Structure 1
Amino acid sequence: MTFFLRKSAMNARNVNRFRKVYTLVNIESHRSYSLKTKTIKISIVGVPFKLSSFHTSCPANTTVAFKLSDIGEGIREVVIKEWFVKVGDKVQQYDNICEVQSDKAAVTITSRYDGVVKRLYYEVDQTALVGNTLVDIEVENAEDEVADVTSDSTAESSPTTLTKISTNQRAKVLTTPAVRRIAAQFDVDLSAVKASGRNGRVLKEDVLSHLNINAEKSNEVPDMSVVTAASIPMIPAYIETEIMLEDRTVPISGFTRAMVKSMTEAMKIPHFGLSDEYEVTKLVESREMLKTIAQEKGIRLTYLPIILKAASLGLSKFPILNSSLDSSCEHLTYKASHNIGVAMDTPNGLVVPVIKNVQNKTILEIARELNILQKKGSNGQLGLSDLSGGTFTISNIGIIGGTYTKPVILPPQVAIGALGKIQVLPRFTSNGDVAKTHVLTVSWSADHRVIDGVTMARFSNYMKGYLENPLTLILDL
């Protein structure tokens, strides 16, 4: 009998200990909720104890700080370029909050919460650091309902049952900003699109399937040569000239700051320069013929895609030009992919978007991708993926003007080229006659620590052979 009473007391203590642990876990899980406790008296083999259960009530809305998270590529600060919301606006998950400009690209920040904007911490053109708060959002919490814990009064009763929490959520469309842009472009109601993604997320393929088009058509660049005329009333034009009456100091930010950093590092590199002239009369004739074929496929073909393909073939012949040198100058990495950057003038300044895997692309595929990058650059929509990963760079200064230049290498790359203006000049033929010739001036710079002048000259001559006789490209494609 004594043993039985001792065993019963021990069971009661274990049950009490379980009750305390259970209570602690529930308090921790519902810390932000107000708790209502009611007591249930249960008897186990004659030993009474109390078991508490919980009922949650709907909490008040809470304000959360929406912080600028790390957007990669070593970016530590950004400049606020545009706010898409204002104080008092309601936002949902994945809604655009603002557009920021880093020293590498423009990035659109989207919301991670549903709620109401309560405060904007920065004005346009102010600098925000990664980890700092961008906005305060009052979060709209859903009502949770938890059933009481019940138990029978005898030792043979069934275990306590806890009803699962049910959450009433507001209906919304889950998708990404890129998919929302496609939907806006084709005037599609995302709520009418059948979602196939995880948790009901609308994917790009869902929108394209809804429109009955393929992915390639969604990325088509409009033919800028076709313009629809509209009747516009003629008004006199006036030119406004800003006259600066006093000095003005402005902060260095965005792409200008990127240029300061990259060029400061670049000038630590001992540059070797080489310039040459290519007689590209046959290239001009070939391009005129191919341009019509490309236009039929909706592609604008310039000289640059052909030059980029010739450069890629040259990099295959001289792979050291497609390498990178580490900061300690102890290791040289030969890059398998020919990711060629193309310097481009945009409203935001000079940027270098990258055409990746040129060695695997045809000339028309390079031209199509170049068209897309040029359109993105004009609209200020170039992202980090468009601007990163370059292994070699070509700058086309000829579209602005000029012949020879001294291009500056973009670390950790080891070489860069600059194209001048194609000029029509008199030149002597092999028979001694003077003929009208199209001449392209080209300037090269290389890191003299790892590349000697002979290698750079041979690479230039290799490209020269392709561009002066473009039909030879067919043999190596």
Structure 2
Amino acid sequence: MIRSSSTLSRSLTRVRASSMRVGGSYVKSIINGAVKPSVFSTKSLNKYGLSSSSNFYKTSTRAFSSSPNTIPFLLADIGEGIAEVELLQWFVEPGDDVKQFDRICEVQSDKATVEITCRYDGKVASLHGEVGGMMNVGEPLIHIEVEGGEDSKSDGASSSSETIASSTPGEMKEQLTIPSASTTSHAPRSFESHDSGKVKTTPVVRKLAREHGIDLAGVVGSGPKGRVLKEDVLNLLGGGGGTSWECDNYGLGSTSSPRCGFFLPHLRLQTPHPNPNRPPLLPPITGERREPVRGMSRLMIKSMNESLKIPHFGYSDEISMNALHTLRNSLKPFAESQGIKLSYMPIMIKAASIALMEYPIINSSLSEDEKEIVYHNAHNIGVAMDTPRGLVVPNIKVRKKKPYNEYTPSSNPKSNTTPTHFQSVQTLSVIDIARELQRLQLDGQTGSGIKEADLKGSTFTLSNIGAIGGTYMSPVISKPQVAIGALGKIQTLPRFDSNGEVVAAKIMEVSWAGDHRTVDGATMARFSNLWKDMLENPSLLMANMK
């Protein structure tokens, strides 16, 4: 593509002066591919002294440009037997340059949320899949250009350039398109400001904004973290009497309107004020709304279908929290010095771990063929959490550096990377548990969500329903675990002391559920009583710590 008439004249002059035969190995004399033979008719070639031999048309297109190699980047198998995922967001757009390990997109499976990274260096050619849609493993996520090539459009971006269009070999015609001065001077142009590229949104929304000349930098997004949604752009286009544009004056007198064809370089999008006479929009009284089951909802359905096949039994008790309240208050200053906000939960998790040592059947699971009981050495205690994406149950296990005196024969102490290993609850202090619990809570509230590694391997679960105001509950066991406990809110209630006097006591209700195939009621009661004794007598808890 030739950018202007002056460039065309200079190029043809150089070609005419070369006086070299076109075809074979001499094709490069035609300005190194700047002018392609297929652009001109036979008459035009003769006019400029060029040969029209048959070799001219048999020349490979590789002599003029090296097209990029476009390959698909497939959605790889992310394990756990997952066949499809939900596309949450794109991090790239067509035309973006990417390198290895750059983020491409974020997907969510039944298990966890995963960010997909690039395996190649190149340029994004196209995206496949809409945000919110489902994608199957093995389908292409994007097409990417992985080899450099001469872009045939790189010299033709200007709207005032003169374009020479190629014709088919069977019908060679001279096609020269020269826009008139009036066309290039007064044609309205829509564009985005430089700030629009930094706005959080999707390629679909950017395309819609470009088509209507909307500057996304001026649109207030209603999505998570200010993300501009498609509805935000549609509301600007269709709601409240339309969209108004304001041009900065820059001291040039009156500002020209878009109708006159003169645009100043800075535009601001203004949202019109709502019409006060417009009647309020009321939701329909009848009808229904349906939405596909995806993400965490799919996982919950699958998990509950399996869990409700387990024969449950329940056990409940109440705990006096007066002594634990005093212990927590004494530990809070030290915890705050470590950057930790100490709650009751880390202490109750530690007490549960000590009780599990005495009653390991509570920390077991039943094999798939129901012929073996598997006793787990690690106490990976799960904690149910309410997150923006739904209920998740990460478990407490801390990755720590392994001391050099604990290397296995297969490990290499001279390696630059110090080996790490997971420590479960029975080897952690209350402060360690509180720190890990705080990290999981922060991850659960962020956009990326809790990591898949934190969701694997739970052996026992505690659910703090008191955090949302609950007192009693019938918890459901998560397969393959055999027990779960639900902790109610702490209430100040009247109770009799050892002298028969009515006193104000801090009371918490606990509701247990057990798998009656492996755990009997007496074992659950003994486990609960030991756990209760350590909470009501913290000195007993300290004495049992190892």
TM-score (norm 2): 0.58
The alpha carbon displacement at 1:61 in A equals 2.1
**Alignment correspondent of 1:347:** 388
Give the 3 Å change call, closer, same or farther, for CA 125–473 of structure 1 in structure 2.
same
Change in 2 beyond 3 A, CA 1:319/1:59: farther
Q: 1:345 to 1:241 in 2, by over 3 A?
A: farther
1:205-224 superposed matches below 5 A: none
Aligned residue for 1:355, secondary structure, equals: coil
Match of 2:445 in 1: 378
Gaps of 5+ in 2: 1-62, 150-279, 398-423
1:243 aligns with 2:310: no
Q: CA deviation at 1:59?
A: 6.4
Structure-to-structure mapping, 1:219-230, within 5 angstroms: none
Quote the offset at 1:424 in angstroms. 0.4
- Which of 97, 100, 107 matches 2:104? 97
| Cα distance in 2 for residues equivalent to 1:293 and 1:406 | 36
C-alpha distance 132-453 of structure 1, shift in aligned 2 (>3 A): same
Give the deviation of 1:132 after TM superposition.
1.5
Which amino acid is the alignment partner of residue 320 of structure 1? I
CA distance in 1 between counterparts of 2:463 and 2:455 reads 14
Give the SS at the match of 1:373. Answer: helix
d(CA) in 1 for partners of 2:284, 2:101: 43
Aligned CA distance change for structure 1 residues 288 and 388 (closer, same or farther; 3 Å)? same
**Aligned residue in 2 for 1:447:** 515
| Residue identity matched to 1:418 | A
Amino acid at match of 2:515: D
State the secondary structure of the residue aligned to 2:340.
coil
How far apart are the structure 1 equivalents of 2:337 and 2:381? 26
Partner of 1:267: 308
Query: Which string of whole-angstrom CA distances, capped at 9 and with x for unpartnered residues, describes residues 295-342 of structure 1?
Result: 011011110000000000011111111111122211111001000110
Amino acid at match of 1:76: A
Q: Distance in 1 between matches of 2:541 and 2:69?
A: 65
List aligned pairs for 1:19-30, cutoff 5 A: none
Partners of 1:139 and 1:257 lie apart in 2 by 37
Shift of 1:449: 0.5
2:227 alignment counterpart: none
> Which residue does the alignment assign to 2:254?
none
Question: 1:129 and 2:170 equivalent?
Answer: no
**Alpha-carbon offset, residue 384 of structure 1:** 0.7
Greater fraction of residues in strand: 1
Letter in 1 for 2:84: E
Matched, 1:67 2:107: no
The match for 1:472 is 540
User: Comparing 240-249 with 81-90, which one deviates more in the overlay?
Assistant: 240-249
Two-structure CA RMSD over aligned residues (Å) = 2.0
Partner of 2:525: 457
Count residues in correspondence: 326
In the aligned structure 1, how far is the partner of 2:80 from the partner of 2:395? 15
State the Cα distance separating 1:365 from its structure 2 match.
0.3
Letter in 2 for 1:129: N
Counterpart mapping for 1:5-404 below 5 A:
60-140=67-147, 243=283, 246-356=287-397, 357-380=424-447, 381-404=449-472
Amino acid at match of 2:283: I
Report the secondary structure of 2:324's partner residue.
helix
Structure 1 range deviating more: 282-291 or 455-464:
282-291
Give the secondary structure class of the aligned counterpart of 1:82: strand
Change (3 A) 1:91 1:340: same
* Counterpart AA for 2:370: C
Per-residue deviation, residues 269-306 of structure 1 (Å, max 9, x unmatched): 00010010011111011111211210011011110000
Between Structure 1 and Structure 2, whose CA radius of gyration is higher?
Answer: 2
**Unmatched tracts of structure 1, length 5 or more:** 1-56, 143-239
Selected match of 1:411 from 475, 479, 490: 479
